[in-house]
Structure 1
């Protein structure tokens, strides 16, 4: 498996003869779980995919990139060695992530996460080739910026999943001048959701620091039997697996060549201004205000800006034609964690998927309207979708999740959301400080927007957006205009 990872990394690093490799592979290893106190490896296990897991089988893996600044006197060999050793300790606790997805033997549509002693996680060490690096834009300052960056510059910093059903891969890349370190993490969503994958990362971080005064994260709960399926939703959600290449690698979307990735930040005050504008507009209309949390305010704000940045005339005409002349609608899709809503509730540290879709549908022209009117419509729709998602758990509405998403996506399109501020990605200290920047690179393939806590200000939010250059310019203008308008109204 290590050789397959190295070959795939070299192919990703160099796109063509005229575009030489920009990174050089230094080491490609398989990191196995460190031994248990008894001296043995974790036991063989087969975790059957639940109905929450199977929902994600055909979705592209989640690719996160953590960019760290290194001190001028940093002992780089010691840092890399510590990352590898501590990874082995974290994988011991999360040993199913060292396994692979496979069809359960003797079945045609039952999948499982299978681990056996000897399995491990692909861990690649690389560095930018000084002779082919793109200059200052490829150092820590150029990469850890909010400004638009070409996805092609970032993509080699996240590893592919090895062929054969692997669900986790990691890569540490030294940036030019060894002033920075990029840590790329790729996780197959069918193995666990964002809560589980970031729980693993925080466990890895705790192992790298190993401070006596630092509390260790709780151990994951590895028990899929906790999630019953009385409605038979596994068979409802199970769809054909993604296509594979000759060597078994899953085939997913690729980002367009001109795709950019940028980050937009709302300060705590910006978020509060959105909440105030929504409350004032509700009072003006004489209606009860929606429950406008910081997340609701952020999603509503970004959704409204995103629609305004698009070619609304063309989009509305297309949507109206598809829906038989009805008013054009817009859709926002985002995940909701249901651990506390299951009967019985699942532990917060349950390792697996337990998220369902919240589907916002609203008139496009209302959501895209500038000012308080657009913010009220978008935030009200987001709040209503959360209520609908929460109240639908355990009811027949769950049966229609997949068909409803596919139907909406094919008829009017949708904007989806990845990440959560609850994951605390900027607390991920791997022994040499907090990250300078965190990106979900895979949004360039899925068309989603990424949400996280702001690294600039407490209580703020940051949103990663991936668009072609002209679309990015329009979104930037809409976002800046909306922020300025809110500040002028306060």
Structure 2
């Protein structure tokens, strides 16, 4: 350390500034697409402009390293293979800017010399080793926030950081992306492409489809979303305190089956048609009910009391827009779903809360699918603002479809994946469970008192699920 840069990469001086005295930066390399594409501009679509002012998405992948791991070779391979992914996803090397001659049209602009930054660092903190950083238990956000890179100034879109952890027993790969450049499907597609190149996979992922003309805008939604887009302050719903925590809560395949059984039984008791309760719906419903109960335990005093809590989450519409987009379309193509449920029902303990939450989530997905191509899309932002006006809506980041625990760069699958930016947005971080087939894990960021309440509500709800069959028998 530091390692030599590849011929097509520029290495910046070591000793770059750091937000933490415990983080020692070895070097930052500029990795351009190679060969360099000609100057290119991609206009933002209406799905992109929706995220113009959103805070960047920050994802952390933690890896355990073998005691005899050749750290220098690992870093060299990460850096050396990166240019293949950057070449395929060349817009990420550019910047977001106003289209020249306009006052309201934005574009992703790439020109020769643009590059993605790749920082190599070391974290000198004996209290934050790989075991401590990958636990599901609450951890201080401040301890991991320094492991994700900041976006360079000037409208840059993407940055990467590889940080060796205490005693070089672990490695953290931090990824920061501007949401207006692409959604989670696109950014994780980049990571799978990079991991395949680094590990020498025989069958790499298919290349991205980079063509914004595939998404026409006959309804003029770009102007609607641009004029109504919330500011950065409005998107950052949580003003982080120094003691902000983040923790992971796991639902096993068996837990999710039990949630589905509860919903089916409650539907029969109420003599209503059962909602479509997939594993994703069951997860959303379970954690939302727990969250609402932890947030305001007094809300269970009366069904329907107070404003209707809202869970807002993204639905991928690549297959639903007209004409449909390719599965590997690179850009944003997600729209919001708004689940609403009476506060008292949602926060109720047991079957009432679970059924209310899951039914609302399932209904909101059906509504979001029906809305595509209709006038209902015109009021997406109005609905977001209405939800915010009655209280902070709970949102969701990530998806189990992204398969983040399959990201093997040649030294094993991740020991843990976190979305650090949920500490600012107040969102739940969703991923497939790393420890059980068919399970889910949810990242939650709260201040200590709120975290303790949520942990208790979650544990009590899991215990109720597993006691329920015995009680009914």
TM bucket normalised to smaller: over 0.9
Equivalent pairs, count? 458
Equivalence for 1:227 = 215
Q: Deviations over 1:55-90 (max 9, x none)?
A: 001111100000000111111111111101111111
Is 1:94 matched up with 2:89? yes
Q: Are the counterparts in 2 of residues 328 and 365 from structure 1 also a CA contact under 8 Å?
A: no
Is 1:67 matched up with 2:62? yes
Q: Are the counterparts in 2 of residues 316 and 364 from structure 1 also a CA contact under 8 Å?
A: no
Q: Are the counterparts in 2 of residues 371 and 482 from structure 1 also a CA contact under 8 Å?
A: yes
Is 1:194 matched up with 2:184? yes
Equivalence for 2:7 = none
- Aligned partners of 1:380 and 1:432: how far apart in 2? 42
Q: Are the counterparts in 2 of residues 33 and 42 from structure 1 also a CA contact under 8 Å?
A: yes
Q: Which runs of 5+ in 1 are unaligned?
A: 14-20, 36-40, 245-249, 321-325
- Aligned partners of 1:252 and 1:299: how far apart in 2? 20
- Aligned partners of 2:378 and 2:11: how far apart in 1? 41
- Aligned partners of 1:399 and 1:146: how far apart in 2? 40
Equivalence for 2:244 = 259
TM-score normalised by length of structure 2: 0.93
Q: Are the counterparts in 1 of residues 237 and 392 from structure 2 also a CA contact under 8 Å?
A: no
Mapping of residues 259-408 of structure 1, within 5 Å: 259-313=244-298, 327-408=306-387
Mapping of residues 142-291 of structure 1, within 5 Å: 142-211=132-201, 214-239=202-227, 255-291=240-276
SS at match of 1:344: coil
- Aligned partners of 2:429 and 2:152: how far apart in 1? 25
Q: Deviations over 1:112-133 (max 9, x none)?
A: 001112110011000013xxx2
- Aligned partners of 2:14 and 2:260: how far apart in 1? 47
SS at match of 1:138: coil
Structure 1 residues 400 and 241: CA distance shift in structure 2, 3 A: closer
**TM-aligned CA deviation for residue 255 of structure 1:** 2.6
Structure 1 residues 366 and 254: CA distance shift in structure 2, 3 A: closer
- Aligned partners of 2:412 and 2:136: how far apart in 1? 19
Mapping of residues 78-89 of structure 1, within 5 Å: 78-89=73-84
- Aligned partners of 2:15 and 2:287: how far apart in 1? 39
SS at match of 2:245: strand
**TM-aligned CA deviation for residue 412 of structure 1:** 2.7
**TM-aligned CA deviation for residue 29 of structure 1:** 1.5
**TM-aligned CA deviation for residue 382 of structure 1:** 0.1
SS at match of 1:489: helix
**TM-aligned CA deviation for residue 243 of structure 1:** 7.1
**TM-aligned CA deviation for residue 407 of structure 1:** 1.7
Q: Deviations over 1:162-214 (max 9, x none)?
A: 00011100000000100000000001100000000000000000000113xx3
Q: Deviations over 1:328-348 (max 9, x none)?
A: 311100000000001110001
Given the alignment, which residue of 131, 138, 153 partners 2:128? 138
Equivalence for 1:323 = none
SS at match of 2:341: strand
Equivalence for 1:247 = none
TM-score normalised by length of structure 1: 0.90
- Aligned partners of 2:136 and 2:236: how far apart in 1? 30
Q: Which runs of 5+ in 2 are unaligned?
A: 1-9
**TM-aligned CA deviation for residue 413 of structure 1:** 2.3
